[in-house]
Amino acid sequence: MVTKRQLGLLFIVLGVGAAVGLFALDIVGAGQFQGIGPAQRRALLVAGTAVLLGLSLLPLGNKPA
């Protein structure tokens, strides 16, 4: 059974991984914008929201999700 702490950690890892992946795509040069484009900004907002959701689940401990 998955606990809320484990689910929170999963959200944090996925959010940070998505943000790192977006910056890696920017370094590779995918896309037509120099710097962060509008689609990347939206994706970073979603990734940040996932991290915040994960952080809010951490203090809930070992209760089942």
Per-residue pLDDT, 30? 66
Q: How far is CA 55 from the centre of its chain?
A: 11
The domain limits of the chain are 4-60
For the chain, the first-to-last Cα distance in angstroms comes to 8
Which residues, in sequence order, are bridge partners of residue 64? 3
Could you identify the residue written with the tokens 């929170």? Answer: 8
Per residue in 25-64, pLDDT tens? 877 776 666 777 788 889 999 999 999 999 999 999 888 8
Single pTM value for the model:
0.84
The pLDDT assigned to 26 comes to 79
Please give the distance of CA 16 from its chain centroid, rounded to a whole number: 4
pLDDT of 31:
63
Can you give the pLDDT at residue 58?
92
Least confident window among 11-15, 20-24, 31-35, 44-48: 31-35
**Residues in CB range of 53: below 8 A, 6 or more apart:** 8, 11
